[in-house]
Amino acid sequence: MGSLRAILKNPEDLYPLVKLKLAARHAEKQIPPSPHWGFCYSMLHKVSRSFALVIQQLPVELRDAVCIFYLVLRALDTVEDDTSIPTDVKVPILISFHQHVYDREWHFSCGTKEYKVLMDQFHHVSTAFLELRKHYQQAIEDITMRMGAGMAKFICKEVETTDDYDEYCHYVAGLVGLGLSKLFHASGKEDLASDSLSNSMGLFLQKTNIIRDYLEDINEVPKCRMFWPREIWSKYVNKLEELKYEDNSAKAVQCLNDMVTNALSHVEDCLTYMSALRDPSIFRFCAIPQVMAIGTLAMCYDNIEVFRGVVKMRRGLTAKVIDQTRTIADVYGAFFDFSCMLKSKVNNNDPNATKTLKRLEAILKTCRDSGTLNKRKSYIIRSEPNYSPVLIVVIFIILAIILAQLSGNRS
């Protein structure tokens, strides 16, 4: 019913939603027949449907390399995230994980649900990895080794300062950006981007996820693992978990806004990175998650619901981002619009208002200076349309027909 209400309120979401549904079904049909590649792509759809869809933008050889890169790092992350594994067992696995990708027999039982399946049947990933070209293997091994060592370091180390925060995010996400840049370069389709810009691409996504997932992470059992830096949250509460208590709502929102402001520091680097990409498929692969991230931050900023549940963009807007992020003009336009949305929420009484506005103004200036803002139609900020009841009824009829056809095709 929630989706139907959203479509009633935003009928223009229907077309991109249908396109997204059909694209997802098409992607599922593209799963290779061989056992190990079939497992890898099936698992990709299970652990991240959005990534499985975005990866379809890439040419086949690069797509295979990125798929394996993602699954190897997802497996590594599963080991790190499993708080039931004793530290003396976990740390050596993290440090040596880059060697296990060459072992067709290696597996380690941990995680839950689809992540447990990934770990139990990791030999499929190793087998597929060994079929990649050597330069892809070397890039994946190098990043896995560096990430595993970084994760091991933070198993026994708290995120105290913003420097710690940046270092942790570098290990778990910035290195992903470096690895992807290496894979793009190895494919011959892109120049090798600088480590600094590649790192910012990962940090912006990771910090967005850390902000959005506060409640899920703080409530994790048997033991929570949090990465909000003490240097930020200690300005507002004595213990990090106190942010979720209703009595601390005002302080919680101020802390949240501080975290969002910190994440915004990476935006200009991200725009520079994306503006240098030449290959359209790689561009879309990189740009869609970044637009989703700035959109998510715009939704999270000054929003107490981050501490009550899940805050995310509505599905229709997500579908529009995927459908309409095709050129650098689209990216500058989306970042401009979401930054304007975020700016409109800044309260001058917020302790970080001046810093937040300064960072937003810098982003808006970069977007304006691109000279591309007049080359696209905004789908984010719009005046409220006046749809007639007849049009809404017609839309529902069309939706019912499409859903019936999709259900019929499934059976």
pTM for this prediction: 0.89
* pLDDT band per the 50, 70, 90 thresholds, residue 7: low
The pLDDT of residue 83 is: 85
In the chain, the amino acid numbered 59 is: P
Catalytic residue chosen out of the listed positions 115, 214, 273, 285 = 285
Is 236 labeled as catalytic in the residue annotation? no
The pLDDT of residue 303 is: 97
Catalytic residue chosen out of the listed positions 49, 225, 278, 368 = 225
Is 225 labeled as catalytic in the residue annotation? yes
pLDDT in tens, 207-250: 999 999 999 989 876 677 789 999 999 999 999 999 999 999 99
Cis peptide before 11 (omega within 30 of 0): no
b vs e for 340-373, b when ≥16 Cβ sit within 10 Å of the residue's Cβ?
bbbbebbeeebebeebbbebbeebbebbeebebb
Catalytic residue chosen out of the listed positions 69, 97, 115, 168 = 168
The contacts of residue 100 (CB under 8 Å, 6+ apart) are: 106, 122, 126
Report DSSP letters for 264-311, one per residue: GGGHHHHHHHHHT---HHHHHHHHHHHHHHHHHHHHHTT-GGGGTS--
pLDDT in tens, 313-369: 888 888 899 889 999 999 999 999 999 999 999 999 999 999 999 999 999 999 999
Is 285 labeled as catalytic in the residue annotation? yes
Q: Enter the DSSP assignment of 113.
A: H
Instruction: Give the separation between CA 170 and CA 178, rounded to whole angstroms.
Output: 10
The pLDDT of residue 32 is: 80
Catalytic residue chosen out of the listed positions 51, 74, 165, 212 = 212
Is 168 labeled as catalytic in the residue annotation? yes
Reference 31, options 124, 130, 126, 138; nearest CA is 124
